Amino acid sequence: MKLSIRAVSLAFGIVWGAAVLLVGLAHLIWPGYGSAFLALLESIYPGYDVGGFGSVIVGTLYALVDGAVGGAVFAWLYNRLAR
């Protein structure tokens, strides 16, 4: 069985983007929530910093792209190894 690279890429991007969005919004409501996780993202994604609503959107966009690329690589690798 082969995986659809497009579908897996889209699914990974949406899930990772939603996770970063939810943690970022929760951090805006409860300032201590997810600080270590967001600091990790800050060290990985250039130009992203923990701050206001704009930074939540920037982090979410980074996560969408990052998750989509990761999902595409995962599906491609799975398809290659499952032969």
Please name the residue that has the structure tokens 């939603």: 18
Q: What pLDDT band is residue 47 in, cutting at 50, 70 and 90? A: confident
Joined tokens for residue 34: 């997810």
Could you tell me the residue range of the domain that residue 10 belongs to?
5-81
How many folded domains does the chain comprise?
A: 1
The 10 Å Cβ neighbour count of residue 27 is 20
What percent of the chain shows pLDDT beyond 90? 89
Q: Is the pLDDT of residue 51 over 90?
A: no
What percent of the chain shows pLDDT beyond 70? 100
pLDDT tens digits, residue range 8-38? 999 999 999 999 999 999 999 999 999 999 9
Q: Is 24 helix (H, G, I), strand (E, B) or coil?
A: helix
